[in-house]
Structure 1
């Protein structure tokens, strides 16, 4: 089956370049092009491509507004091209929030070792997001100002039976155990009896991860009982902007990890792009070590495998590890090491993934004990760590 692509950019040179790269793969056919966001919206309605590649800065209508309109009127997986700057990161995150599936640097050689790798990277991304039913829908609403506002004062400890965190919706009738059925998340946070089997929550993800992480973290209460360590495949220029965005949306604190940070409950630490994040010390007094990695031996920087492996040495089995949407198999070996120590590993289910690569790797290897839909992940995590109904 051939994947049809609409190429959108205000530069004729870049449109030709992207077209040539994509069509050098026999599985991809460019069926049209547009030089501004307004044309992209109209072409998307007429051509109904399998994938759209989209620039951000364009005349008439920018890429972010175009994504929003396309996802409303003619939903389609969209791959954004971005500059590797703080401003580019912010714009790209806005595009992902509007409904785009993934992004690449506009100089996509920046994420590859040579031209051949760069060509393959672009082709693989387009093929990976093509035809995903989960991407052919309207983008989720942005969290309201009320839901993302942090309390002015620290919240008191939650007593069993307390209604400090009330249900936002009534519980559904328990007629099925299928996790993928509910159309919207239901986070139950009525009482807290901490599950002492865990001391840290670890999350690894790649393609589709920014939206998935935002969906999960915005539903966690401020007094979440464990530290959270997160590895998202993302360029160095993006991770600080992403952590700042999450911090503004979430009740928990979210920060880009720094060397020497001590792990604190209710704080999420995002591995910096282009570096490796390791955990050292002992459980209850662990610290983060952020290191440059110029070895060339590890493909991903940051790497889920390396972070998870270091967690296995410090925390042993007292880790709840989650592998979310992403290409490839990063995280499988690190998750295997955690499981050998007695840790619990979950994977996002195929239906809710942008790309079912990383979760499939741990599921197929028999490492994960549970597959959970993205809509239900936050609720399932809260129940597992001690919040429940």
Structure 2
């Protein structure tokens, strides 16, 4: 059975172009199009597509507002199309925060070496995020307990139920984490699709006095990483910056690898510096998790706490293998909480990761691991 796709864009040319590419895939079918955000919300409710592709800038209702309304009423995997500009970066990050799962630039040639590669990439992204539809719908219908009103009016007081002997079901307590007792000098996190939201959820829970530096490798275009680092820095207690060549690693600072480049380390622990080099034409990922993880393994040996988060493909597996061989710790995000269970699955299947963790508890697990007894 084909996956149903709703294409949303105010440009008739782009609607046709995207529709032709999607319809060329055996398992994909464009069931309708919409020319603005308002129409997208209406058709999402009536047609219940498996995936929506969404432009950001549209008349009547913009894409970000449409994403918020769709995720509130008819949660659906949404792939955003954006321009590779600073304004486009900010808007795309807003869309991801609103609930969109992934994004692609409107100029496919910016992310692909040829037309065939661009076509395959779009088709693959649509099929990948479609797998999250059921999870989004289940999360939407899950009952959420509402906080009691502070008002003292009679209408606001909760109704008191008569006491009975009927046992009420209680949620099973989450398992408690324990530190392994290992000593660390560096944290390294690699991710791709779904990573911006995942990183925000983790980093915003870390204290300002985090004991060592953090390396962040997120697959992202060059014009996006500076905006993403600035956003994280405004939200977090730790400092977050786009890495620059020659940066000396400092405790409590997270360094985001710049898009289109590779981030490596040189020097010794305690005085290590960041080296930013050209991304390289042959490299599939710029930045590449394998490159940074491998460099961290050589510099910090067994003193790295590393993790692979949600993302497509297997980038990070070989770098994580080098870290494990050096004696460092490797964790992976669990399948249920990933937007795309590709990169974490690669390290888990290879037997490299020692723990598979739900996104919501990764920060907690990090802080327990670093706690001194």
TM-score for the superposition, normalised by structure 1: 0.85
Aligned counterpart, 2:350: 365
Q: Is the 8 A contact 2:180 2:369 kept in 1?
A: no
Kindly state the Cα deviation for residue 55 of structure 1 after the two structures are TM-superposed: 0.1
Structure 1, residues 35-59: CA drift from partner, whole Å, max 9, x if none?
A: 0000000000001001000000000
Per-residue CA shift, 1:210-266, capped at 9, x if unaligned?
000000000001001110000000000000000000000000000000000011110
Distance between the aligned counterparts of 1:211 and 1:48, measured in 2? Answer: 25
Secondary structure, aligned partner of 1:338: helix
Partner of residue 282, structure 2: 297
Conserved 8 A contact 1:134-1:353: no
- Judging changes above 3 Å, is the alpha-carbon distance between structure 1 residues 194 and 266 closer, same or farther for their aligned structure 2 residues? farther
**Structure 1 residue aligned with 2:165:** none
Preserved CA contact (<8 Å) 2:2 2:26:
yes
Which SS does the other structure have where 2:18 is aligned? helix
What is the Cα-based RMSD across aligned positions, in Å? 1.9
Q: In the alignment, which residue of structure 2 is the partner of 1:265? A: 251
Equivalent residue, structure 2, for 1:155: none
* Distance (Å, rounded) in 1 between the aligned partners of 2:81 and 2:326: 41
Write the distance in 2 (CA, Å) between the matches of 1:235 and 1:111: 8
Cα displacement (A) at 1:289? 0.3
Q: Match of 1:144?
A: none
2:98 is matched with which residue?
Answer: 98
Task: State how far apart, in whole Å, the 2-side matches of 1:40 and 1:300 are.
Answer: 33
Q: Is 2:293 aligned against 1:308?
A: yes
Equivalent in the alignment of 2:55: 55
Match of 2:274 in 1: 288
Distance (whole Å) between structure 1 residues aligned to residue 249 and residue 171 of structure 2 = 39
1:322 aligns with 2:307: yes
Measure how far apart 1:15 and its partner are: 0.5
Q: How does 1:239-254 map to 2 (within 5 A)?
A: 239-254=225-240
Q: Deviation of residue 178 (structure 1)?
A: 8.9
Partner of 2:33: 33
Measure how far apart 1:134 and its partner are.
Answer: 3.7
Q: Relative to 1, partners in 2 of residues 1:319 and 1:110: Cα closer, same or farther, differing over 3 Å? A: same
Deviation of 1:385 after TM superposition, in Å, equals: 1.1
**Unpaired stretches in structure 2, ≥5 consecutive residues:** 141-169
Superposed, 1:1-389 pairs within 5 Å as 1-132=1-132, 133-136=134-137, 137=139, 175=173, 177=175, 197-294=183-280, 296-386=281-371
- Given that residues 86 and 241 in structure 1 are in contact (C-alpha distance below 8 angstroms), is that contact kept between their aligned partners in structure 2? yes
- Number of aligned residue pairs: 342
**CA spacing shift, 1:30–1:224, aligned 2, 3 Å:** same
For 1:83 and 1:287, how far apart are their aligned partners in 2?
33
> SS at the partner of 1:7?
strand
Matched position secondary structure for 2:103: strand
Would the aligned equivalents of 1:134 and 1:354 in 2 still touch at CA under 8 Å? no
Q: Calculate the TM-score normalised by the size of structure 2.
A: 0.89
Deviation of 1:297 after TM superposition, in Å, equals 2.4
Higher relative contact order (CA 8 A, sep 6+): 1
